[in-house]
Structure formats: structure tokens, C-alpha cells
Structure 1
Amino acid sequence: MTDELRSTVIVVTWRGRAHLGDCLDALAAQVRPHRVLVVDNASDDGTAALLAGRGAQVLRLPRNLGYAGGIAAALPDVDTPYVAWLNDDAAPEPGWLAELEDALDGGAAAAASVLRAPDGRVQSTGVRLTADGHGADTTGEEVFGFCGGAVLLRTDALRRVGGVPAGFFCYYEDTDTAWRLRLAGLRIATTSATATHLHGASTHPGSARFHRWNERNRLVTLLRCAPLPVAVGQLARFAAVTALLPFRRLAEPPANFRTGLRLRVLAEVGARLPGALLARRRITGARRAVWERWAGR
């Protein structure tokens, strides 16, 4: 145990009034001292009034920059050795931060949490890397990365590998960051530190917006971090499936198989291609070794 304040917890919210109070109450109950910095993504639902009533330290943004953009905006204000990302719909148990700090004290660059649904079901112990380059939640003991909904990282390590990809808006900022940590030879720990998570309270997994961000950011992450043949192959596969969709008879295709959405994803990836390739030059490491170690697990 220590009374030294070593962690800043960044809570990003957008129209989170309905559940943000539970998150802040859970942070107030932590057994380790910490600083809380709430990033308000221009909420218009009374969130600002809720935060003012609690006397919370708030970084209010003029427009919604998403989860990734919110964390990136807050990072320059972090002066503690450790920094946590926490969803506004997550309520960590009292020992959550203490266990994560202990994991970083043991040498890890990041420590993943156990996320549970309100009914107690385990949602995630971290992220695995699939054979086609998806970052997918896993409940296994060995993880490629962490779920960004509740994680603690070494601030210097996060900055050293390039910080947070603010342009992702949301989704894959965790997989991309974990990938860069792995490429730098750093360790990501699993823990039993637990938070109850409503999951998708703001972004509605399965919606067209979800699939747009999810597919776009997966492809950009591959272009930034994966072996080049893998990245090019997955981009070509996505384009080929999109081209064939008009010839398939699907009465009501799911959102991720709607031609218009996929064309928008391809256009957005194309617009981000120069930046992704520039980032790729700065992101160094044994790409093939990391891919072969983790993909498909």
C-alpha cells in the first residue's frame, strides 16, 4: 500500500449523465489515491451540470472528439507516472486501481482489467488478435492487448510509442496502442482488477456507425502496425468483398455488409493512407515476429 498519488484516471464522457455518477462514485471509493480528469465531449444532456455539482476536474471540449480524441486531448495534462483510461459506463471495484498499479510496479507497461456485465458475466479480460487482424475481446488468461474501457498504462511508455491515435474517434485505439507497445518489446499484464461495464451505452455496437469506425480503424491499424503483406491483403479483401456485394441477393444485409457503408470506409481509409504510412515509418519493431506470435490466438 502507498499514499503516494501515482495515477491519473481519464474518464471520457459524451451525454453520459445517466451513468457517469456511478463511475465517479466508484472512483471515489478506490483504496489508492489518484487524480480524476473527466473529458466532456461537448455533452448537451446536463452532464456539465452534474460534473459542476461534484466539483470534478473537467476538460470540456468544444466538439465531440470521441473516446480516442478525448484521451489524446487529456494526455498533455497528465503529470503522474501512470494513466488510466476508463469508460464513463464502467464502475470499478474499490481495489481496481491498487491491483493495476501493483501490476505496473512489477514491470508491465500496461495492465488490463476484467470487465463484467451487470449480471456478473465476464465480457473481457483483454484483447486477442485474430487471424485477419481484428482486435477481439477475449476471456483468456493470455492477452495480446487490453480493452480500452478500463486499463492502466505507464505514462512514459504510452508517450514513447506515440500516444493515442486521436483520429480513430473510437474503437481500435486500444488495439493499436497495445500493438505499438508489443512492437516496442513491452509487456501487457492481465489482472483480476474488475469493473462493471454497461458496454456500448453511447455507441450501440452493431449499428452502422459502430461498423464504420470498427472496420475503418482495423484497416488503419493494420497499415500502421502489421506486416505489409497482411495489411495490403486485408485491405484488398475488404475491397473485393465490397465490389461483389451488389451481385449478392441479401434481403436485409447487416450493417457491415451494406455497400454504401463499406464504400465510405474505403474512402476514409484512403484519405488516412498517407498519415498511416507516415506513422508506420515511425512505428518500429519486429512486425512479423509479433504477428506470428499473436495472430489467430
Structure 2
Amino acid sequence: MATSSGTGSACHDGVTAPGVAWLAVTASEPVRSTVVVVTWRGREHVGACLDALAAQDRPHRTLVVDNASDDGTAEVLAAHPSRPEVLRLPRNLGYAGGVAAALPRVRTPLVAWLNDDAAPDPGWLSALEAALDADGVAAASAALRAPDGRLQSLGVRLTPDGHGADTTASEAFGFCGGAALLRLADLRAIGGVPAAFFCYYEDTDTSWRLRLADRRVVQVPEAGARHLHGASANPGSRLFHRWNERNRLLMLLRCAPAAVAVREIARFAAITAALPFRRRVPAANFRVGLRLRVLAEIALRLPSTLNERRAIGRRSTVSRAQVWQDWAG
């Protein structure tokens, strides 16, 4: 089989999950990748993710981070025949915190980020590993597709106002964290994962820092994964908008040219101040209370974020202005 237990073994005892075709992989093949799956209340879909990992045509180690699920997810993980290693956290640290918690346990040169509601094709990992063999490539983004086959994402683009947005274009600024493979040494060299983001923008922030370090991010259309978008989150919720708005601004403070970061925070504040005078009921991300909460969080985190900005600058070999000029918009 292709998946492995926490020992890194590529052997399987012959027990097969219903409907899963385990692919034969020779035990002599080196295990190059650890696939990190972060789950929270994923009982309904994490099994399908593990089934798909078990059917990969490349040996790997599977590490599931359970964010203190209370819905029976632990039982699903314990019963799965692939016997993934499980890191159960005492509280929910979000996707970013979950990936960050997993990194000290990764012993392979490559590490994959995989949503628990994504089911990769059998050749997903081998295609991503092949892409990382090219010079200067630090991250490879897969093709996320909806259950009906519609292409959702081939990576992340950087908009003129500093948003990270999914793209299906032939070139991307960054990788989509829903299904991607990274070189561990490069990830550690740029400071790892921004765990404090909790959820959203951790991939765009990481892509920013890779670009600043003059590392390449590539798209791999042949590395496909079926993605139940929103199965493990609630797009459009108050928390979704709070994390999105906050983390975009934190990312810009950490990575973007100073003028861009100041401009976007000032614009966010000005729009917030004008909202009480508008007659229309605003969309969720334009609610005054939510936006004031975002500004308060930015203010509280400003000293530590500026320290992080300086550390990122010391590690960078490409200027922030150059990355912005090359990719924004």
C-alpha cells in the first residue's frame, strides 16, 4: 500500500476498507513525504480522505492532527485500516495551528498539507513529488476539483488590494493550502507556519515568504484532488469573515511593502468608519462590530507582528517591492 503508519513502514496487513483499492508499492521505495491532515469534527468526511491516501501510488507517512474533535472523529481515525499516526490536540488550534503543531513530528524532506474534506487522486502525491525535484521549487499546488469535476483552484493569486484568492490561471503567486506539497527545509528556513492565524491566509502568507526567499511555487494540474469545499468550515459565517479580514491585514503587515500595508489598514478603517452612515444593511464582512473587532486584534498584535516583519526581512533575498510588482494584480 502507499500509506503508512507512524513508523514510516510501507507494509500493510491485508485489511482493506470497503471500496478502497490498495495499490501495491514496493517496500524498498523511499518515503519522501509526510501528509499532514488537519481535522476538526471531520467524522463525516475524514474517512474518505484517508481512503484516498491509502490508494496513493507513492509510499508516504500519514499524520492526522485532530483539533480536539468531539463528534466521533477519534473513533473513525482509530478504526481506519491504514492506521495513520494521530496527534490529538487538547484544544482547537485551527488549520494553521494544526499544521504548525505537526511540523516538529515530520522527519521526511517533504510535507503535504491536505484538508480533511479533500480526497486526492491515486497519482496526486507522485505528481507533486516530481514537481519538487525541479531546481528552486519549494512548493507545489494541486488541482482542487468539486465533486462534479469543476476546477476550484490551481493555486492562489495576489490581488491589487492584497487579497489572496483562488485562481485557475496557468500561473499563480502561491499554493492553495487545501492540497499542496512543500519542501520542509524551505518551510523551516522562512519561519514555518503562522500558527496564530488560526485559519485562512496561512498559505498565502507562506507563499509570500517563499517568494521573498527567492523560492519557486509551481502548479501541478495533473495532481488532482476532489474537494468538498466548506465541509470542514462555514464560509460566510461571522468567524470566517473575521479571520479572513484580520489575517489579510496581518499578512500584509508581515510581508508586503510598508506603504501597501498602511494603505490597506487605513482603507479598512475608513470604510468601517463610514458604514454607520450607509442605509443598506451590509454584508457580513461589512458589519461594524466585526470590523471593529478586526481592528482591535490588529492593534493588539501590532508589536509582535512588527517583530515578525523584521525577522522576515532579515531572511529575505528579494525585496518586498519586487514581489509586489511581480505578482499583485
Q: 2:93 aligns with which of 50, 62, 65?
A: 65
Larger deviation, residues 39-48 vs 204-213: 204-213
Verify: 1:24 aligned to 2:53, yes or no.
no
Verify: 1:95 aligned to 2:128, yes or no.
no
Larger deviation, residues 193-202 vs 15-24: 193-202
1:226 offset after TM fit, Å?
A: 0.2
The structure whose Rg is larger is 2
Verify: 1:178 aligned to 2:204, yes or no.
no
Give the TM-score of the pair, scaled to structure 2. Answer: 0.88
Which residue does the alignment assign to 1:209? 239
1:201 offset after TM fit, Å?
A: 1.2
CA distance in 1, matches of 2:238, 2:275: 16
Q: 2:260 aligns with which of 230, 254, 257?
A: 230
CA distance in 2, matches of 1:153, 1:29: 21
Letter in 2 for 1:19: H
1:163 offset after TM fit, Å?
A: 0.2
Verify: 1:48 aligned to 2:78, yes or no.
no
Q: 1:39 aligns with which of 65, 74, 97?
A: 65
Given that residues 109 and 184 in structure 2 are in contact (C-alpha distance below 8 angstroms), is that contact kept between their aligned partners in structure 1? Answer: yes
SS at match of 2:250: helix
- Deviation string, structure 1 residues 8-29 (Cα, Å, up to 9, x no partner): 0000000000000000000000
- Deviation string, structure 1 residues 99-139 (Cα, Å, up to 9, x no partner): 00000011310000100000110000000000000000000
Which residue does the alignment assign to 1:263? 292
SS at match of 2:132: helix
1:240 offset after TM fit, Å?
A: 0.4
1:272 offset after TM fit, Å?
A: 1.3
SS at match of 1:113: strand
Greater relative CO, 1 or 2 (CA 8 Å, sep 6+):
1
Which residue does the alignment assign to 2:303? 274
Letter in 1 for 2:67: N
1:56 offset after TM fit, Å?
A: 2.3
CA distance in 2, matches of 1:69, 1:103: 27
Mind listing any 5+ residue stretches in structure 2 that lack a counterpart? 1-24
- Deviation string, structure 1 residues 128-165 (Cα, Å, up to 9, x no partner): 00000000000001000011000000000000000000
SS at match of 2:220: coil
- Deviation string, structure 1 residues 69-101 (Cα, Å, up to 9, x no partner): 000000000010000000000000000000000
- Deviation string, structure 1 residues 45-80 (Cα, Å, up to 9, x no partner): 000011111232100000000000000000000010
Letter in 2 for 1:50: V
Which residue does the alignment assign to 2:320? 287
State the 4+ residue runs in structure 1 displaced beyond 6 angstroms: none
Mind listing any 5+ residue stretches in structure 1 that lack a counterpart? none
1:236 offset after TM fit, Å?
A: 0.4
Which residue does the alignment assign to 2:277? 247
CA distance in 1, matches of 2:298, 2:74: 34
Of all paired residues, the percent bearing the same amino acid is 71
- Deviation string, structure 1 residues 260-282 (Cα, Å, up to 9, x no partner): 00000111111111111001001
1:202 offset after TM fit, Å?
A: 2.2
SS at match of 2:87: strand
SS at match of 1:52: helix
Letter in 1 for 2:247: N
Superposition pairs of residues 126-137 of structure 1, within 5 angstroms: 126-137=155-166
SS at match of 2:260: helix
- What's the Cα RMSD here? 1.0
Letter in 2 for 1:41: N
Given that residues 253 and 261 in structure 2 are in contact (C-alpha distance below 8 angstroms), is that contact kept between their aligned partners in structure 1? Answer: yes
CA distance in 2, matches of 1:103, 1:213: 31
CA distance in 2, matches of 1:271, 1:197: 35
Which residue does the alignment assign to 1:198? 228
Structure with the largest fraction of helix: 1
Which residue does the alignment assign to 1:11? 37
